[in-house]
Amino acid sequence: MANPQPDFDAIVIGAGFSGMYMLKSLRDRLGLKVRVYEAGDTVGGTWYWNRYPGARCDSDSYIYCYTFDRQLLQEWQWSERYPEQPEILRYLEHVAQRHDLKRDMQFGTRVTGVRFDDATERWTVGTDRGDTVTARYVIAAVGSLSDSNLPAIKGLDHFKGRWYHTSQFPKEGVDFTNKRVAVIGTGATAVQAIPEIAYQAKQLTVFQRTANYCVPARNGHVDPDVVKARKARYGEIVDTIRSSFFGFELAFIPKSVLETTPEEREKEFDRMWDEGGFAFWLANYQDMFFSAEANRLCADYIERKIRKTVKNPATAEKLIPKGYAYGTKRQPLDSHYYETFNLDNVTLVDAKADGPIEAITEHGIRAGGKEYPADIIVFATGFDAMTGPLKALNVSGRGGARLNDAWKDGPRSYLGLMVAGFPNLFTLTGPQSPSVLSNMPVSIEQHVDWVSDCIAHLESHGKKTIEATPDAQERWVAHVNEIVNMTLMPGANSWYMGANIPGKPRVFLPYLGPEGVGGYRKKCDEVAAGGYEGFVLA
């Protein structure tokens, strides 16, 4: 007997930037029957969940958006250089409405299992709401930073105050007025949240495990003439960011910083510093990520800025990063972060200088043998990045092999798009693709377009499945590691290396270069044009 039709052609997991466009593309371009499952109660993904005070985009708004809808690029008006979370969520709601996306989305539903059936060559997807549906394709659009990391610090159960993780903040917000607040963590999230919380709280204690190099965001309203000029050349901008290294209108200075005079580099550093945003990180001298000596010059510049801004020399010393190269952890953008430590109601507790966190007590946090009282604890402790959200899906592929077993020593994928043994399962912005090392919407659109083209190819060639070969996968994994091992990146205990999660394999998670997102796009396109080299189509 012929197999009955699957319930859907494709299941998309997640309704953030990537899931929304994936649905649009599969449904409206290819005419497929698609269902999106989303744990939140509306679209937005990361911008739905991350509602902490100060949450805003770190990429310039004019390129942190979809480019597939060219009309919308012209119509949408961003209020600032880096819009706040509610504004980005409004934008995504608008896109959902404009493209009638919600009719194919089921909200408040978390996918709990994804299983491949060898006999029917279909996937069965189960959810926490009791759905069990079948589909030919599954696209994981789960985001790279969506599996929160709540560290197992003893004593939290006994804490008498309230506590929150920044990635799951209450919708109604939290009133910090007259409260003693403790923030754990000093990553990009905390750097945004700390100045806002300090402004409201009676007392703020910041628990720092590793100091970060922060550079100024320089947020503000964008000159209407600049906005107009950008709109007039959007076609060119889109081409530039797609072929760039990191998905921005930025490029490295094609010179070694070691070949510059002190005056020359000071002028360049000042220029990037004044420009704000990621220029200092992603458009610095070309050897900044490769040479410890070159990197030191950039780091020294930031150190001088910290010492100049932070009035108490002991606090400044604690805020100066040590033991890893500049730029090898994700660059946090500073809007009054360093100045916040000049306020009388703010205390910095550094794990090295003051002692690490030992326990959460009934009334606060104990670190280095001293108790710091708190009414509210905010965990700005990040995520089990990139692999965490995929592992949480409980995927089993051919022969019942579990993704979590296949990845026990770190992720293995081909192009960051597919995993050998898991046919017709696509991982948008997955590990070993540029993903988090790029301006996300650029990488998201590239992956969505590639997956749509691939599925269109399968459909038009009468193929049922596509699957990465183990050989191609091994070559890709080796290539990803070879490239990153030429840089300073592996030296940092970053979440890029999985180092923030106890027990996680120390493996570089995204893909870096050698020609950035532009070169990666070219590679993916060549693979497709060559008849999907490295994949088996059956």
Residue ranges in contact with ligand NAP by CB under 6 A: 56-58, 145, 151, 184-190, 192, 209-210, 330, 357, 380-383, 436, 495, 500
CB-based closest residue to ligand NAP: 187
Other C-beta atoms closer than 10 Å to the C-beta of 479 total 15
Q: Which is nearer to ligand NAP, 306 or 436 (CB)?
A: 436
Q: How far is the CB of 106 from ligand NAP (least distance, A)?
A: 27
In angstroms, what CA-CA distances link 399 with 2, 274, 340, 474, 512? 21, 56, 55, 20, 33
SS3 call for 246: coil
Q: How far is the CB of 396 from ligand NAP (least distance, A)?
A: 29
Q: Which is nearer to ligand NAP, 57 or 466 (CB)?
A: 57
Radius of gyration, alpha carbons of the chain: 23
Q: How far is the CB of 222 from ligand NAP (least distance, A)?
A: 17
What is the Cβ-side half-sphere exposure of residue 202, based on CA atoms within 13 angstroms? Answer: 8
Tokens for 81, please give them: 């250089």
Q: Which helix (H) or strand (E) holds 230?
A: helix 224-232
Report the sign of the C-alpha dihedral through residues 159, 164, 168, 171, in that order. positive
In angstroms, what CA-CA distances link 177 with 39, 55, 174, 180? 31, 19, 9, 9
Q: Which is nearer to ligand NAP, 332 or 410 (CB)?
A: 332
Q: Which is nearer to ligand NAP, 131 or 196 (CB)?
A: 196
CB contact at 8 A, 20 and 88: no
Q: Please, which residues bridge with residue 165 across strands?
A: 379
DSSP-derived secondary structure for 316-380: HHHHS--SS-TTSS--PEESSHHHHTTSTTEEEEETTTT--EEEEETTEEEETTEEEE-SEEEE-
Q: How far is the CB of 186 from ligand NAP (least distance, A)?
A: 4
Q: Which is nearer to ligand NAP, 56 or 102 (CB)?
A: 56
Measured distance CA(26)–CA(448) in Å, rounded: 9
Q: Which is nearer to ligand NAP, 148 or 342 (CB)?
A: 148
Q: Which is nearer to ligand NAP, 44 or 185 (CB)?
A: 185
Measured distance CA(318)–CA(473) in Å, rounded: 43
Q: Which helix (H) or strand (E) holds 87?
A: helix 85-98
Q: Which is nearer to ligand NAP, 1 or 152 (CB)?
A: 152
Measured distance CA(11)–CA(14) in Å, rounded: 10
Q: Which is nearer to ligand NAP, 151 or 490 (CB)?
A: 151
Q: How far is the CB of 149 from ligand NAP (least distance, A)?
A: 6
Q: Which is nearer to ligand NAP, 6 or 185 (CB)?
A: 185
Q: How far is the CB of 291 from ligand NAP (least distance, A)?
A: 23
Q: Which is nearer to ligand NAP, 418 or 489 (CB)?
A: 489
What is the Cβ-side half-sphere exposure of residue 332, based on CA atoms within 13 angstroms? Answer: 27
Peptide bond into 514 cis (omega under 30): yes
Q: How far is the CB of 440 from ligand NAP (least distance, A)?
A: 8
Q: How far is the CB of 284 from ligand NAP (least distance, A)?
A: 18
Measured distance CA(328)–CA(294) in Å, rounded: 13
Strands (E) located in 209-247? 215-216
Q: How far is the CB of 346 from ligand NAP (least distance, A)?
A: 16
Q: How far is the CB of 436 from ligand NAP (least distance, A)?
A: 6
Measured distance CA(269)–CA(28) in Å, rounded: 47
Q: How far is the CB of 120 from ligand NAP (least distance, A)?
A: 39
